[in-house]
Chains A and B, each alone.
Chain A
Amino acid sequence: MPAAPSALQGSFDVAVIGAGVIGCAIARRFTLEGARVAVIEKAPDILDGASKGNSAILHTGFDAPPGALETACIAEGYAEYLEIHDKLGLPLIRAGALVVAWTEEEEALLPALIQQARDNGVADIAPLSAAETRALEPGLGAGVRAGFRVPREYLIDPWSAPHAYLLQALANGATLLRGCEVTGGGFDGAMWRLETTRGPLSAGIVINAAGLYGDRIDARLIGHSDFTIRPRKGQFIVYDKPAAALATHILLPVPSKITKGIVVCRTAFGNLIVGPTAEDQDDRETAALVPETLAALRARGEEILPALAGQDVTAIYAGLRPASEFKDYQIRAHAGLNYVTVGAIRSTGLSSALGTARHVHRLCAEFGHQRTPLGAPVWPQVTGISEYARRDWQCPGNGGIVCHCERVTRREIEAALSGPLAAQSLAGLKRRTRVTMGRCQGFYCSAALAALTKGRLTQPMAEAEDDR
């Protein structure tokens, strides 16, 4: 329940604005470093903005701009994910990526791309002929000219990772305020006072990880922003599980200056995705799906993997990337204000989050932020929802399967609806469990799910008969 607006929500060392993957990773880092952290999220649930729709790849950063901050954050984030994923119960599918050149122009770009990968510290790359490329992925369509393999590009789960980061922060003392929008605030030289829709709170340091609203939060709190968010929409098609057998690798095109291009890859949930598009727009809220674009995406997917023709589409989704007029991340410590902007994470946020968090923590040393790191932090485990690991439906006492397509159990749903990070929206419940995300999209389980979630979501799936 929202507290009365006047009640002080508390006093913290650090307030993180925004609970996307970046905010969750920052909250974890500062908590582990001994800070008392509050995470402020305006949506009813976390991961409700840019982090809700991405391609779920753990990138090495092989194609990132050499010397860029983004590249450094990806490298550091990648390394930390490999180090901690087992301890948090997070999946890692060692798919490897295959960069495929389909035209003469693309083929000509390969040597430079391989050199760029080496400059970025990704050295385990060798050029492949057309025949060698095809030998690795026999399902590729006609016209493959050449390629190279990036063995350490992996698949992860876009949602359990940030959930685990934030859960670990919460388990070690952090506070999460959801449905809480920052409406204003000021710094008195020692402490920030933030005004929010759930009342004021004070914090020694404010970190703006507001994603698609990063520039607006800057304007609201420090009076200006050094960048302007230019939302870039990405539409995706998710194919049903049999399609996952069509490709082992993450199939990447030769990237252009604007986008990594249309990727075809498996997902941690056992499906196969084709996407994203890269479409600039002004709207920060709405990522509209466009039938013609989806049809074109489908056609492109079938050129890359001809056997995709005739495969069933399970889902369609679109995400918004918080791009800006700059190519690189816009991460800046504002001296004298105890304020850090973590903006314009235009892509790769999932890969770089843990590294970005470390970078931000180092920046805060400039403000004299020094705490004693936790000696023995708690390591909560998230429920494994990867298709490539053991699932709850295979274990006794699961309460039975509720969502048949994705085989989500009653016990998993109950777990996702309780605890410090309980789902408060159907979308949040989907991200925690995969429920209704399968081929029937809720034909079979919506009724049972509506009954199970009754009175437990901010936006109920349905009203009771008597609530006229």
Chain B
Amino acid sequence: MTGDLPGFADVVIVGAGPAGLAAAAELKARGVGSVLVLEREAQAGGIPRHCGHSPFGMREFHRLLRGPAYAARLLARAQAAGALVKTGVTVTALHPGSGLSVASAGGLRQITARRVLLCTGVRESTRAARLIGGTKPGGVLSTGALQGMVHLQALRPFRNPVVLGTELVSFSALLTCRHLGIRPAAMIEPGPRVTARRPAGLLPRLQGVPLLRNTSITAIEGRDRVTGVSLQTADGARRRLACDGVIVTGGFRPEAALVRDSHLTMDPATGGPVVDQFGRCSDPAYFAAGNLLRPVETAGWSWNEGRIIGRAIAESLGDEVPDFAQNMKIELQGDVLKYILPQTLSACPAPAALRHFQLRVTRPARGRLILRVNGEVVLSRALSALPERRITLPLNALPAGAEGVAELSFEDGPA
């Protein structure tokens, strides 16, 4: 309820997923006075709340946990550290200099803070965004929606769906289907290979689910409920497959509507805000961490990012990290490199929070990564990478104190 919401906090964190809760615990551990976490859902914990499977928590708690237990521990740790976590509170607008408009059952109000950390996470892309044809019956869901129904509400939306996609989350969807007796009719991958790393790719065989590669869904059929899908293979062959649902998985993108509607600078490549090596946005009162920064990393990765960016925020409150003074922008050349993070580097002697650049490629790539500063090659490194797989490059690949524009390019060829 908004009645007991404080009107001020030293740090307000937007989003109580792994990144936000980790940052809250870290900020309190570093002696920050008041830390307020605002979560729009009824329950804190973020995506792991509805991932009813392992493995979560190895890095954070040194044990194997299922998603809901992991989420509960993250919350308990943040609260035990002294952070105030409020659920059912939606931040509706970000104002320059860290004022927030928030809405809850009690209506609208304003909160001010010295720093704001945005941790609003990611969501999967939709059937509409993918322009999948056919009708619009009930039973076309994202993995997130399916898992919420199954794990949070014990509701079964279908019995024999198809799973579209082969990212890590697609296999999470397969695992969810094992609950409540849901038996997928097929797993469908438009590309030639499974996107996720092994051993996830072995799951369909273990569950007896046919894996159809080089296959697209051209149409969804059914009026009230899904009755089938039309499939087309890369060679043009078409067929129909009976099913009663479609799980449209992956294709993650930051849930960045709040940032996009604000004064903060967005990066069209990541779909999140532009940040520097401290996770700091174009307004120095704002920081961002976790999957809002880019699609998509594991809960553990996001948790760690929340922790280290939380530390940077604590230091910025003590003036150890000076205000934003961007002196280098990293630009991507060509269309193989999908995004890079951080997108800018600030001139600052303090140790970086994000010590690596994070990269992704748009297609399978084998060749060399070349980094130029003001036209001069400062790094040339072999790269062999697949889409949706993590690629990192140490921040110190850039010479200390460099200014201007850094350009990162990829050249096909022998690695």
Contact = CB atoms under 8 A, between A and B. Distances in A.
B7 interface: no
Contacts of A426: 138
A378 to B, nearest CB: 29
Contacts of B138: 426, 459, 461
A407 interface: yes
Interface string A411-445: 00000000000000110000000000001111110
B241 interface: no
Interface stretch (A76-84, A214-222, A392-400): A392-400
A315 interface: yes
B391 to A, nearest CB: 24
Interface string A126-160: 00000000000000000000000000000000000
Count chain A CB atoms within 10 A of each CB in B153, B158, B261 and give the residue with the most.
Answer: B153
Interface stretch (A20-28, A280-288, A341-349, A359-367): A280-288
Contacts of B92: 407
Contact of A439 (B106, B154, B257): B257
A314 B127 CA distance: 9
Contacts of B152: 447, 451
A72 interface: no
B58 to A, nearest CB: 27
Interface string A436-468: 000111111011101100100001011111001
A298 B257 CA distance: 22
A442 B223 contact: no
A48 B142 CA distance: 25
Nearest to A426: B138
B145 interface: yes
Given A291-B218, A398-B107, A400-B88, A443 B128 contact: no
Given A294-B131, A316-B128, A444-B41, A288 B105 contact: no
B223 A450 contact: no
A310 B108 contact: no
Count chain A CB atoms within 10 A of each CB in B123, B127, B128, B136 and give the residue with the most.
Answer: B128
B218 A396 contact: no
Contacts of B131: 289, 291, 294-295, 298, 313, 316
Given A401-B40, A446-B141, A294 B224 contact: no
A407 B88 CA distance: 12
A407 B104 CA distance: 11
Contacts of A291: 131-133, 218
B90 A242 contact: no
B25 to A, nearest CB: 25
B155 A447 contact: yes
Interface in B178-211: 180-181
Count chain B CB atoms within 10 A of each CB in A291, A447, A461, A464 and give the residue with the most.
Answer: A447
B103 interface: yes
Interface residues of A, number: 54
Contacts of A459: 138, 224-225
Contact of B105 (A286, A314, A399): A399
A272 interface: no
B219 interface: yes
Count chain B CB atoms within 10 A of each CB in A425, A444, A451 and give the residue with the most.
Answer: A444
Given A461-B157, A465-B180, A285 B223 contact: yes
A317 interface: yes
Interface string B43-80: 00000001000000000000000000000000000000
Interface string B128-140: 1101111110100
A200 to B, nearest CB: 27
A279 interface: no
Given A285-B223, A401-B103, A450 B153 contact: yes
A290 B153 contact: no
A118 interface: no
Interface in B12-54: 40-42, 50
Contacts of A464: 154-156
Contact residues on B (Cβ < 8 Å of other chain), bracket? 35 or more
B144 A443 contact: yes
A313 B104 CA distance: 28
Contacts of A298: 131
B128 A462 contact: no
Contacts of A401: 40, 90, 103-104
Contact of A444 (B104, B108, B123, B127): B123
Nearest to B271: A312
A404 interface: yes
Contact of A394 (B103, B155, B223, B260): B103
Contacts of A394: 103, 107-108
A443 B124 contact: yes
A447 B153 CA distance: 7
Nearest to A411: B105
A60 to B, nearest CB: 31
A17 interface: no
B148 interface: yes
A405 interface: yes
A394 B142 CA distance: 29
A186 to B, nearest CB: 31
A8 to B, nearest CB: 29
Interface string B157-191: 11000000000000000000000110000000000
Given A441-B142, A465-B180, A313 B155 contact: no
Contact of B155 (A285, A310, A316, A454): A454
A448 B145 CA distance: 9
B126 A443 contact: yes
Contacts of B42: 400, 448
A398 B134 CA distance: 36
A387 to B, nearest CB: 13
Count chain B CB atoms within 10 A of each CB in A291, A315, A397 and give the residue with the most.
Answer: A291
A450 B149 contact: yes
A290 B155 contact: no
B107 A441 contact: no
Contacts of B106: 396-397
A125 to B, nearest CB: 36
Interface string A305-339: 00000101111110000000000000000000000
Count chain B CB atoms within 10 A of each CB in A285, A400, A410 and give the residue with the most.
Answer: A400
Interface string A263-305: 0000000000000000000000111111100110010000000
A436 B82 CA distance: 35
Interface string B253-279: 001010011000000100000000000
Contacts of B255: 440
B137 to A, nearest CB: 9
A285 to B, nearest CB: 6
B123 A289 contact: no
12 contacts: A289-B131, A289-B133, A313-B128, A394-B103, A441-B127, A442-B142, A442-B145, A443-B123, A446-B141, A447-B153, A459-B138, A461-B138
In the A-B complex, the 3 residue pairs with the smallest Cβ-Cβ separation, listed nearest first, are A447-B148, A446-B145, A462-B155
Interface of B: 40-42, 50, 88, 90, 92, 103-108, 123-124, 126-129, 131-136, 138, 141-142, 144-145, 147-149, 152-158, 180-181, 218-219, 223-225, 255, 257, 260-261, 268
